[in-house]
Chain A
């Protein structure tokens, strides 16, 4: 919200406060000033001058040479304009002047004649016709004959004003107005605040005899005030009024509409003016719209209403959407002669919903939404009438229509200074508290220590609110900073949080980069990942109002996010990319309002890696977090994976996830023409199995013996099975088994593979004898042959 700062001076004298100081102090007392813009900042060294003579230029027919008095100094200026004449007062840009748009003026010669500056048009001063209030003739701006000579042009046009932009928080609708902010400024700077009660004289008639207002829905319209103006002379508003509106970003329209906007800014009370010719039977009815009722609003749009919306109507038709926008059918026109000013209080929630449904947020609706003091309606309509009289643009009819329901009573709160000080950790004088509250418009009963809250401060509901009122004026930064006393808390991370850190460290140590991805996704990912039509993962939490289809469901798998990250890197030609994520999936549960949210550790990579690399990373992860009992078994049923290159990971006896090569169709779907490898692990499974307990095992005293075995096995025999057989056969003295070569080729029969193992044996308490070793090796071979048909090569 932007306000011309000079406006505040109508209520509190701030004229001596520099804009920067104003902005800082207001910000620190709670009315955030986002910036102060100096209106005429661009304009420098332009003064009013009186044209003493005009002569033809000796060398150019199209130019004239003027002599000017700019207040004790004579200047000769050459101009091309034709509308200048002796005796006129004009704006004169002197040597060194700066004009709108960054133009600068210097002394010089024009066709051989010295020119000591330039005469200016309104555009060169950055002043619009609307701000002038009239369309000036083409050429130099001719000022009013009574304008003094030699004064800064910024003074003449109010361009020395500053415009402050405020960011008002939603709890302070009262500060959405000049008066509300002036009150804040007065308290902030400790200056007197004067708020005259606006009054219009009015004629001898009474509006109640000329018009009637019926409010049929008092809940939606707690108060409706109206006054009438006759003999209206529709015309442009005076320049000062236009400038104030424009500073706030409101376009001037005509004097009556401008007055409603002026009062909106000044009081924060939206108003509307109806042309009485268009109000059938001079009867205003405030009622709910009928379902499907149509109205053409002032912005020329036809809008369909429904019964949840409040309209202002006459006996025949709606003439405004209450609190949002008026209708074209009753707008103020150039020949409007009689108007009715509406100054009403509408229910904020209802206005908000109506504005939202119509897609029509207006200055008025956004004010109503935040809640407006119902006592404002009367002052606002009187202020509008006062302005009509001051500007002499119509005859105010006596009296006011005021349809008023029961207004909420003034709230009373207890003030406990010691409690407030304890709460703030401060020692603020009671006297300061009382003075501050009084200045903010609260009534303080010093005997009872009760505070009555003014009607414009509906936000103040409790003692904590009073504390805030006091401390923001006292100064947040005057409160001494302290460190918490009281019971010591242990703090720190819990086991799961520590494990998360460990998993991340283990992944990074293996060369993987952590990614973070959106947790909502598109329903199309299930097809891209080849999930079967009946996959339970297609049962999702859907967003009612997504930004788009691509972000419309909460993910039930992290694979899509990982594939997207790989896709992005692949399209950027990043080679050999290895990524991981710990992120949530959202699994709807029957009988539960909220889905289960589970953390999944996801690995994804391409380039220079194969299945055994990613499997090794998973194993290394298990090792570093202390997961000891796990196994990998072939899983051909995971449709996102290569059917022959995917393993289910089991930890203990629980399925913990999968690791494998992404199905080539999946890679194709993501536009990656390299093999991608993926792994997904349930964080809960890791967390359940991770065991940090470690016990030192004595270093071996006796030597180990290694024997190599070259085995011939059927292709179908799994290395995992062979390892299990060897482990079982070797028993306690097995130190380690290492598969160091797998070979298929000419020397190997079709359907078989050669597997070379190194088996290391060691006893903890003795050196093994050749005999013992021979016996164990025989047993191993025997078991291999009879359990898996595996023979020595």
Chain B
């Protein structure tokens, strides 16, 4: 019996040695440890032994079983490792092939830049106001100190609906609408479409977007105008840009100014983009004209304010180096995808 066990052990070890896969290993397990396996039949034969030999034979058999089991387990681990390795090797992918994407769409570049502008002013306590595109001549011109036959009307070639109704040529009428409705303090920006009778080319469009701004409160100064718009310029163009204010004229502000930033292409040295000036005009601004305040029922002796306006297309064209205004309204997806 002892020899028999030794033999089974030796034979099984030999077979294990030559097992090359998990299936072979399983066959060996069944062959030796299975219900009808070699070791099992030896154990089954123990009943034939005299009772005093049985414990020893039992111990021997258990030893043999443990040894075989341990060897199988070891071999199993070895073969499993090899098999996983082979599996992984077979599953190698070309990771440079393109990914499978769920394509999201994009917002129009003008919307994206407008969102930036809105965020900057909302951070300074501004709300967003809106007004109609089809506007009364009164709001678009007269309430802004631009009476009929004022020369400023010539520079803003106006689309007329009738004698008293126009397509707004600027977002400034929203200023008046807000001041008529709301008591100071007022801090708003009013983005929107405006209309001028300009034929379409690379730099002109009969439809474009402006962003108007208005602040009215007690004690608002021209220093506040400068400070607020400098914050805006730095937020939009970076803390490094230099900002300057030049005198200008708008009928509805006094004093009026234009704000330039140092050219972000050449840094102020002078280049093609800034036409050698070193400065780029960004927006028009000014202290709200006392006549405009008074016309809206706000006492200019008590309140003061400033207003500003900028062209969204211009800002966007400069940000992305777009050279043709028409692209914004053609809506070619090859363009829209780029932003």
Q: A residues within 8 Å of B by Cβ?
A: 27-30, 32, 169-172, 348-349, 352-353, 369-370, 422-426, 462-465, 467-468, 471-472, 476-477, 479-494, 497, 501, 504, 507-520, 541-547, 551, 554, 565, 568-569, 572, 574, 577-580, 584, 586, 593-595, 597
Contacts and interface: CB of A to CB of B under 8 A. Distances in A.
A501 B337 CA distance: 19
Contacts of B230: 481
Contacts of A468: 247, 254-256
Contact of B160 (A171, A467, A488, A544): A544
Contacts of A352: 149, 151, 154
A594 B132 contact: yes
Given A467-B254, A491-B125, A482 B149 contact: no
A568 B224 CA distance: 46
A439 to B, nearest CB: 16
Interface string B301-334: 0001000000000000000000000001111111
Nearest to A487: B185
B36 interface: no
A349 B134 CA distance: 26
Among A172, A369, A515, A542, residue most surrounded by chain B Cβ atoms (within 10 Å): A515
Contact of B135 (A30, A491, A584, A594): A594
Contact of A543 (B160, B193, B199, B220): B160
Contacts of B40: none
Given A426-B223, A579-B331, 7 more contacts: A27-B246, A348-B149, A424-B221, A484-B227, A491-B124, A547-B197, A580-B105
Question: DSSP class of B's interface residues: helix, strand, loop or mixed?
Answer: mixed
3 tightest A-B CB contacts, nearest first:
A425-B221, A425-B223, A169-B249
B255 A464 contact: yes
29 contacts: A28-B244, A30-B248, A170-B155, A425-B222, A462-B254, A464-B255, A464-B287, A464-B290, A468-B254, A472-B255, A476-B222, A476-B245, A486-B218, A489-B126, A504-B107, A512-B105, A514-B105, A516-B108, A516-B329, A518-B206, A519-B133, A520-B207, A544-B159, A544-B162, A545-B197, A572-B332, A574-B332, A580-B105, A593-B165
B271 interface: no
A131 B277 CA distance: 31
A308 to B, nearest CB: 12
A349, A513, A547, A586 interface centre (most CB from chain B within 10 Å): A513
A168 to B, nearest CB: 9
Interface string B156-178: 00011110110100000000000
B218 to A, nearest CB: 6
B181 to A, nearest CB: 14
B193 A483 contact: no
B231 interface: yes
B50 interface: no
Contacts of A490: 125, 127
A114 to B, nearest CB: 41
B164 A593 contact: yes
Contacts of A518: 206-207, 329
B9 interface: no
Contact of B334 (A489, A574, A597): A574
A451 to B, nearest CB: 15
Nearest to B164: A593
A513 B110 CA distance: 13
B85 interface: no
Contacts of A422: 219, 221
A519 B334 contact: no
Contacts of A170: 151-152, 155, 249
A487 B161 contact: no
A124 B276 CA distance: 29
Nearest to A369: B151
B136 interface: yes
A14 to B, nearest CB: 20
Interface of B: 102-108, 110-111, 115, 118, 121-128, 132-136, 149, 151-152, 154-155, 159-162, 164-165, 167, 185-187, 193, 195, 197, 199, 206-207, 215, 217-224, 226-228, 230-231, 244-249, 251, 254-257, 287, 289-291, 304, 328-334, 336-337
Interface centre among B159, B206, B228 (most CB of A within 10 A): B159
Contacts of A493: 118, 122, 127-128
A349 B105 contact: no
Contacts of B151: 170, 348, 352, 369-370
A595 B102 CA distance: 41
Contacts of A584: 133
Contacts of A511: 102-105
Contacts of A425: 221-224
Of B123, B133, B199, most buried by chain A (CB within 10 Å of CB) is B133
A479 B247 CA distance: 13
A478 B299 CA distance: 28
A543 B128 contact: no
A463 B195 CA distance: 33
A483 B227 contact: yes
B134 A586 contact: yes
A541 B161 CA distance: 7
Given A484-B224, A514-B105, A547 B206 contact: yes
Nearest to A490: B125
Contacts of B249: 169-172
Nearest to B276: A35
Contacts of B128: 493-494, 497
A172 B247 CA distance: 12
A352 B148 CA distance: 11
A489 B221 contact: no
A514 B185 contact: no
A462 B253 CA distance: 12
Contacts of B219: 422, 485-486
A157 B287 CA distance: 47
A554 B227 contact: no
Contacts of B251: 171
Contacts of B111: 504, 514, 516
B331 A568 contact: yes
B133 A597 contact: yes
Nearest to B200: A547
Contacts of B193: 519
A511 B207 CA distance: 27
Nearest to A461: B291
Nearest to A515: B331
A423 B222 CA distance: 7
A479 B221 CA distance: 10
A476 B105 contact: no
Given A352-B154, A487-B217, A482 B159 contact: no
Nearest to A459: B249
B271 to A, nearest CB: 15
A541 B207 CA distance: 17
A512 B132 CA distance: 27
A370 B151 CA distance: 6
A479 to B, nearest CB: 5
Contacts of A486: 185, 217-220
B222 A426 contact: yes
Contacts of B185: 486-487, 489
Given A422-B219, A491-B126, A515 B227 contact: no
Contacts of B331: 513, 515-517, 565, 568-569, 579
Given A370-B151, A546-B159, A597-B134, A514 B106 contact: yes
Contacts of A484: 124, 187, 215, 217, 220, 224, 227-228
A423 B134 contact: no
A705 B106 CA distance: 41
A477 B126 CA distance: 25
Contacts of A172: 249
A492 to B, nearest CB: 5
Contacts of A465: 254
A662 B6 CA distance: 87
Nearest to B162: A544
Given A426-B222, A484-B217, A541 B159 contact: no
